[in-house]
Amino acid sequence: MGTVSRRKRVRDGGERDVEAVLDELYITPPADFVARREELAAAAKAAGHADDARRIHAAHRPTLAAWAANLLLRSQPEESRRFLELGHALREAYRTLDAAGINELSEQRRRIVTALSRQTARLAEEAGHRLSDPVQQDVESTLRAVLTDPDAAERWAGGRLEGALTPPSDFPGTAAPTGAPRKPRRETAPGPSARTRAKDDLAERRRQRQEQLDHARTAAEEAERRLRDARTEQADAEAARQRARDRHDQARQQMSAAEQQLQQAGEELQRADREQQEAEERNHAAADAHSRAQHEAREAGQKVKRLTARSR
């Protein structure tokens, strides 16, 4: 039975793959992990998936460093894939390098781990959690382990770390790398063909070491370049976000000013309406008074005419 057919589903606002649910759970901030775990387990149980509910409920809350490492893997899948490939290339190269080559790759490895751990810290801070120095050291320890230890690399690639990983003291197989000088065995002087074969073997080992060193250098330089590009893109994104935030604040201020102006205009309109109504009332009163005055003037005139006629 294949992996896909073995996967179950849980209901959480819709059918969801239980593996995807667990992936999501392990990038949930540790402070919210238990509550989210219980919510997802309850959803699985309510949907009739008891096995899924047990799996979800059995998940252990990761440490802050492990959560940050999981977040890096899920947030930067392409960069993480290349980091895993770099680890494989470095481990292969370390098996055949001499002391000088190992020192050179070790320095490149330190630079890459430092840069990637800083990127992890930025991702964690964007998610609302600033990493302390001890937690940052645990992140770097985990990343070193991923580069040096294939088992650690496999665990990190699963995206569900519960605790920080500890790297071995050095790369596997570096205690006696292939091609290291060996003590010559005491034997009778070899004939010309034996000396020729020894020189050819030595030259072939040196060629292989050089090829692997070149490959590892290229992989390390490419990883450093990608990290620089990622930092540049992140800085550009942060600048764009700040510009958008500034525009948002400016628009909010303008909207607030416009709302105040609108309120003032509404009050002015109400006052104007009241004044217009009062003016209309005064106009009606004046018209009524004028009409009465005209009527009284006509009656007075007529009275004068009558009195004048009588007096004659």
Whether residue 179 has pLDDT greater than 80? no
Please state the φ and ψ torsions of residue 26, each to the nearest 5 degrees.
-80, 0
Average pLDDT, the chain: 77
185 alpha carbon, distance to own chain's centre? 59
C-beta of residue 146 within 8 angstroms of C-beta of residue 82: no
295 alpha carbon, distance to own chain's centre? 88
Please state the φ and ψ torsions of residue 189, each to the nearest 5 degrees.
-55, 125
Nearest to 36 by CA among 57, 51, 65: 57
Give the torsion sign (CA, 123, 127, 129, 130).
positive
**Residue 273 CB burial class (10 angstroms; 0-12, 13-18, ≥19):** exposed
Mind listing the pLDDT tens digit for each residue in 188-205? 334 445 555 555 555 556
Nearest to 172 by CA among 107, 91, 113: 91
pLDDT score recorded for residue 5: 37
C-beta of residue 155 within 8 angstroms of C-beta of residue 161: yes
pLDDT score recorded for residue 249: 76
pLDDT score recorded for residue 90: 82
Cα–Cα distance measured from residue 25 to residue 47, given in angstroms and rounded to the nearest whole number: 18
Mind listing the pLDDT tens digit for each residue in 136-145? 999 999 999 9
Q: Is the pTM of this model over 0.85?
A: no
In the block, tokens 């470095």 appear at 90
Mean pLDDT within 133-155: 94
